[in-house]
Amino acid sequence: LAGFGHLMQDVLWCFGQVKGTIDIGVTEADIISTVEFNHTGELLATGDKGGRVVIFQREQESKNQPHRRGEYNVYSTFQSHEPEFDYLKSLEIEEKINKIRWLPQQNAAYFLLSTNDKTVKLWKVSERDKRPEGYNLKDEDGRLRDPSMITMLRVPVLRPMDLMVEATPRRVFANAHTYHINSISVNSDYETYMSADDLRINLWNFEITNQSFNIVDIKPANMEELTEVITAAEFHPHHCNTFVYSSSKGTIRLCDMRTSALCDRHAKFFEEPEDPSNRSFFSEIISSISDVKFSHSGRYIMTRDYLTVKVWDLNMENRPIETYQVHDYLRSKLCSLYENDCIFDKFECVWNGSDSVIMTGSYNNFFRMFDRNTKRDVTLEASRENSKPRAILKPRKVCVGGKRRKDEISVDSLDFSKKILHTAWHPSENIIAVAATNNLYIFQDKVN
C-alpha cells in the first residue's frame, strides 16, 4: 500500500481537479456534507445539504496520456433524501446527507448507504448499456399498439445503447431514531450495519427494514440528567462483533456484541486524564470528539476533538499513544469561537491506506496531514488560486505571534467561514478528496 512512504518531503501534493461552481454566493443546498471513496477507490461519492448524492468515477488510465492519471468524472447524480416535516413536533427534518458509506462490491452493481438525520437508505447504482427492442404490444416510442393490428409475434432483443447509470433506492430504514443520526457503519460481515444518533445505536440487517436492534442506549431515565451524548460510532474493520463509539465528554467506548444484547457496559473505556493547567470553561467543549475512525489494520483508533487528533492503541485505555495539534493557535481564541459557534464545528479525520499518515481539516480552507513515522506535518490549502493542473501545493503556515513572514497568515486573518470538515483518502493511492464548502478538490501526489 502506498503511503507517505519515506520522508514527507518525498511526497508533493498537486492539484488534480475541482468540482463545483465558483460563484461568490454559495447556495446552501450545494454545501458538501460528506465525502467517501469506495473500497477500490474507483468511485468517489459526495452528499450535500440539499439531499443529493453525486458519484464520481475514475476514468481508466490511458496509455496515450500517462500524465493524466485517472480523472474523476460524474458517474451518477440522484436525490437521496427530501426535506420532511415532522407534524408531531412541528419541526423540519433536514434532507442534508450526514454520511455515506459504501458496501463492498459483490456484483456488477454498486451499493451505498446514505443517511440524513432520521432515515438511512440503501441505494443501488447500476449501469445499463443494453435496451430491449421489439416489443409486441408497444412500439419503439412506448405507445401501445392496437392488439387487433398485430399479425405476428416476435421475440424482443437486447441492443446496445448509450451507457446509462441509474440509482434506485433498494431499502429504506426509517422510524428508528428519535434523535439525529450522526454515524453509519457497515459491518465486516457485510450483512449488518449500525446507525448511531445522539443517544442510541441501532443494529440493522440489510434485508430487514421494519425492525432494528438497539445495541446502545445512553438516554437517562430522567432527561434532566443528560450530560453526555454519542458523537460518532464505527465497527471494527475485521471483527464483526466489535465497535466503538465516542462521546461529547471526550471518551471512547469499545463494545463487544457477544457479551450482551444491549451493550451498555463497555469492554474498554478510553479516556485521557485532563491536564489541570489547561482547564477552562471550554475544556469540556473542546474535548468533545467529533469523529472516530479505526485504522485499516484494526489496531488503532483515531479521534478528532476541536484542537487535536489523537491516535489510541486498542490495548491502552488510559491515554492516546499519539497526539497531534491541528491548530493550537486557536486555544487563546476559544471564547470568540464559542460566541460565533465555530467551537461546535465537527471536523472529521481520515487514515491513509497504509495507516502511516492521518489527515484532518481546519479553517481558512486549510487541511493538515501528519506523518506518524517521521512526526512531520504539513498544512495545505484548498483554494482556487492553487488550481492550475498539476500545480504543486505550497505548504501554508499560520503566524502565531511576533513578526509575520511574507507567506504566513496571521490568526486574525483566518476565514472561519471556510472550514474543511470532510476529507477522504483513496484506499490505496495518494489521492485525496477535500470538501471546501460547495467545492470538491481532488489532489494527488506528483507523478514522477
Partner 1 sequence: MFVRGLKRKCFDGEEDIEGTLAGIKAIPSYNLQRQSLLDMSLVKLQLCHMLVEPNLCRSVLIANTVRQIQEEMTQDGTWQMINPQSTGQASLDRLVSTDILCRSSREQAEGKHVPGYSTFNKDFEGDQAQDSSETMSTASSVQAPRNLQGHVWEMENPQENKGNFQKSLDQIFETLENKSPNSVEDLFSEVDNSYYDLDTMLTGMMSNTKMGHCDGLETFSSTTTTASNSNCKSDLNELDHIVEILVES
- Nearer residue to partner 1 within complex by CB, 92 or 129: 92
Of residues 24 through 83, those in contact with partner 1 by CB under 8 A are none
Contact flag: residue 333 with partner 1 (CB under 8 A) = yes
Which H or E run includes 326? none
CA-based angle 37:19:166, to the nearest 5? 60
Q: CB of residue 223 vs partner 1: minimum separation in angstroms?
A: 5
- Nearer residue to partner 1 within complex by CB, 207 or 225: 225
- Nearer residue to partner 1 within complex by CB, 330 or 432: 330
Contact flag: residue 108 with partner 1 (CB under 8 A) = no
Q: CB of residue 177 vs partner 1: minimum separation in angstroms?
A: 12
Backbone angles phi, psi at 335, to 5 degrees: -65, -45
The single residue listed with the C-alpha cell 485517472 is 70
- Nearer residue to partner 1 within complex by CB, 289 or 350: 289
Single-letter residue type at 316:
M
- From residue 205 to residue 244, what is the string marking binding to partner 1 with x (rule CB under 8 A)? -----------------xxxxxxxx-x-------------
Q: CB of residue 231 vs partner 1: minimum separation in angstroms?
A: 6
- From residue 374 to residue 413, what is the string marking binding to partner 1 with x (rule CB under 8 A)? --------------------------------------x-
- Nearer residue to partner 1 within complex by CB, 305 or 445: 305
Backbone angles phi, psi at 344, to 5 degrees: -95, 5
Contact flag: residue 339 with partner 1 (CB under 8 A) = yes
Which H or E run includes 337? helix 334-339
Q: CB of residue 226 vs partner 1: minimum separation in angstroms?
A: 4
- From residue 278 to residue 317, what is the string marking binding to partner 1 with x (rule CB under 8 A)? xxxxx-xx--x-----------------------------
- Nearer residue to partner 1 within complex by CB, 184 or 359: 184
Contact 51, 80 (CB under 8 A): yes
Q: CB of residue 264 vs partner 1: minimum separation in angstroms?
A: 19
Contact 344, 285 (CB under 8 A): yes
Of residues 14 through 33, those in contact with partner 1 by CB under 8 A are none
Alpha-carbon gap, residue 44 to 24, rounded angstroms: 26
Residues recorded for the chain: 448
- 416-419 long-range contacts (CB < 8 A, ≥24 apart) are 416/337, 416/340, 416/342, 416/363, 416/364, 418/363, 418/364, 418/365, 419/342, 419/345, 419/347, 419/361, 419/362, 419/363, 419/365
Contact 36, 98 (CB under 8 A): no
Q: CB of residue 88 vs partner 1: minimum separation in angstroms?
A: 6
N-terminal to C-terminal alpha carbon distance within the chain: 18
- From residue 123 to residue 152, what is the string marking binding to partner 1 with x (rule CB under 8 A)? ------------------------------
CA 113 from centre of chain = 12
Where does this chain bind partner 1 (CB under 8 A)? 88-94, 117, 179-180, 198-199, 222-229, 231, 248, 277-282, 284-285, 288, 332-336, 338-342, 344, 412, 415-417
